[in-house]
């Protein structure tokens, strides 16, 4: 009897929290969320095209594979220097967070990936915002705007940028 009561104290709260959880993501639900962000969203099958802060965003989904990807084009990758490639890799480690820099089809992209069905509304919105931010801060801060993971190189590089800008502006 004691074992059953002990087991119920573990299972019952989990059952209650599962009942309160958001429903699984669907294409219709994703469409409603994206339309709230940009009423001019264009929907084509399982893809959504829209604009946030003058930045074009494309979300591609594959419900069968349980995946989604939000993407923002940043620039041509063909002319990136070794230093630029290293910098985006450093940002992927500590300042891009949930968004990532990626190269595909000759372009540098800001990308957010997540399992589709388990995606919650706030995760989707945050992922879109972070992806837009990595595009907007490319070439400067290289950040998703959601904080920074410690132990990487970006903190020192950001500090160097601040010092450089302070130095340039000291005579103004």
In order of their start, the domains of the chain are 52-169 (3.30.1460.10)
**Helix H or strand E segment including 159:** helix 154-169
pLDDT digits (tens, 9 = 90+) for 18-38: 445 678 999 999 999 999 889
Q: Which helix (H) or strand (E) holds 19?
A: helix 2-20
**Which of 62-66, 139-143, 147-151, 157-161 is predicted least confidently?**
157-161
Percentage of the chain modeled with pLDDT above 90: 57
For residue range 46-102, list pLDDT tens digits in order: 999 999 989 999 999 999 999 999 999 999 999 999 999 999 999 999 888 899 999
CB 90 within 8 A of CB 154: yes
CA-wise closest residue to 29 among 54, 61, 53, 51: 61
Global confidence as pTM = 0.75
């Amino acid at each position: 009897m004691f074992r059953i009561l002990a087991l119920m104290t573990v299972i019952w709260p989990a059952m209650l929290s599962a009942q309160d959880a958001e429903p699984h993501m669907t294409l219709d639900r994703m469409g409603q969320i994206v339309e709230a962000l940009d009423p001019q969203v264009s929907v084509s099958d399982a893809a959504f095209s829209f604009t946030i802060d003058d930045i074009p965003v494309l979300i591609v989904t594959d419900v069968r594979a349980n995946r989604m990807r939000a993407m923002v084009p940043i620039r041509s990758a063909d002319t990136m220097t070794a230093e630029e490639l290293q910098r985006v890799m450093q940002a992927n480690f500590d300042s891009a967070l949930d968004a990532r820099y990626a190269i595909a089809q000759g372009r540098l992209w800001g990308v957010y990936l997540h399992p589709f069905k388990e995606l919650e509304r706030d995760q989707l919105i945050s992922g879109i915002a972070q992806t837009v931010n990595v595009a907007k801060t490319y070439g400067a801060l290289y950040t998703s705007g959601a904080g920074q993971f410690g132990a990487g190189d970006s903190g020192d590089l950001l500090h160097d940028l601040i010092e450089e800008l302070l130095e340039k502006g000291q005579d103004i």
